[in-house]
């Protein structure tokens, strides 16, 4: 599907209005693919993009199952486009993320699923995040 079509489809599916900012931001995520983006990275790409609006856009996208958050070792949060299985308030992308200490990029390892582990019985598990870090292929 063409980019503009995918953008339209995703926003419609999430019951979101087609605003300039949303189209702009969503395009970035679609183009980034499995690379997770921080708010700052998106912000500096578009000079006249309001910081606050951007934060709200990210939050909205996350709630609609369009993007998912990847906990970053550095503390700042990054986001990447979801797989098709995600929907409103129901993220299905239980894959690991890799953080490269050199280029500071976070990528989704879509094929590395988080294994199920035996927890002590009194813990009720809801989510799990696995962050691997080291040096990525491009930086070696």
Point out which residues bind its own copies (CB under 8 A): 71, 73, 75, 77, 96, 98, 101, 109, 111-112, 114-115, 117-120, 122-137, 140
With beta carbons less than 8 A apart as the criterion, state whether 47 and 31 touch.
no
Output 4 or 113, the one with its CB closest to DNA.
Answer: 4
Which residues are CB-neighbours of 109 under 8 A, at least 6 positions away?
A: 95, 96, 97, 98, 132
CB atoms within 10 A of CB 48: 4
Minimum distance from residue 62 beta carbon to DNA (Å): 10
CB of 90 to DNA, least distance (A): 19
**Residue whose structure tokens are 């953080």:** 99
Q: How far is the CB of 65 from its own copies (least distance, A)?
A: 18
Q: Which is nearer to its own copies, 22 or 95 (CB)?
A: 95
């Amino acid at each position: 599907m063409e980019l503009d079509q995918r953008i339209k489809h995703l926003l419609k599916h999430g019951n979101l209005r087609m605003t300039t900012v949303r189209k702009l931001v969503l395009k970035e995520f679609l183009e980034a693919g499995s690379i997770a983006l921080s708010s700052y990275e998106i912000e500096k790409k578009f000079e006249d993009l309001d910081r606050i609006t951007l934060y709200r856009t990210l939050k909205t996208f996350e709630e609609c199952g369009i993007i998912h958050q990847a906990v970053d070792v550095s503390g700042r949060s990054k986001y990447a486009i979801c797989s098709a299985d995600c929907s409103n308030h129901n993220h299905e992308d239980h894959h690991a993320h890799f953080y490269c200490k050199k280029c500071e990029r976070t990528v989704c390892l879509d094929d590395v699923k988080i294994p199920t582990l035996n927890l002590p019985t009194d813990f009720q598990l809801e989510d799990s995040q696995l962050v691997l870090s080291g040096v990525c292929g491009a930086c070696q």
